[in-house]
Amino acid sequence: MTMLNTQISSIETFGTSSANFDTAELDLNANEAKWSSIFNRFQEISSLEDNWDGFDAPRPEYELILATHQWLIKFMRENKNNPPSRILATLDGTIAFDWEASNIRNQIEFISPNEAEFSSIGDDIRPQLSTIKIGNYNQVHGLTR
């Protein structure tokens, strides 16, 4: 195992406003490169400006970035072997994480500082969509396994 010193600091999102995130020094295994990529992409997303897509898409709001970052740190600490397949900014100003397996795709989309939507689509399951309170970490944690 190696140690990854993941630092997301001074993310400039609102002109002179910034979020100073704590350094999360985490013991990661073979998924270190994937987690590093996720955090690098998170930092890019948190630095987006309005109209980042050229078609007036809003940037994620400051409070949403903070809440998502807190959730992501906690999720990574408890799920070192289950990094998201990707992270993306949406055209609605939200932040989404995808997990893909052979025949199933789970997504958590952080729609506000207090809520996320979970969806699951797959060959052998009926599509699911539910809204989850972000503070209810255990509920979200169990859905992504």
pTM of the predicted structure, to 2 decimals: 0.73
Helices (H), 14-104: 32-46, 62-78
Please tell me the distance from the alpha carbon of residue 143 to that of residue 145, in angstroms, as a whole number: 6
Task: Find out whether 59 and 93 touch, Cβ atoms under 8 Å.
Answer: yes
Residues in the chain, how many? 145
Query: 27 — phi, psi (to 5°)?
Result: -85, 110
Identify the pLDDT of residue 29: 55
Which residues, listed in sequence order, are joined to residue 70 by a DSSP beta bridge?
Answer: none
Count Cβ atoms below 10 Å from residue 69 Cβ, excluding itself. Answer: 22
Residue 49 has pLDDT above 50, yes or no: yes
Element (H, E) at 142: helix 137-143
Which tens digit of pLDDT belongs to each residue from 65-112?
A: 999 999 999 988 888 888 999 999 999 999 999 998 778 889 999 999
Q: What percent of the chain has pLDDT over 70?
A: 72
Query: Angle between the 32-46 and 62-78 helix axes, to the nearest 10 degrees?
Result: 170
Residue 142 has pLDDT above 60, yes or no: no
Domain boundaries, the chain: 2-143
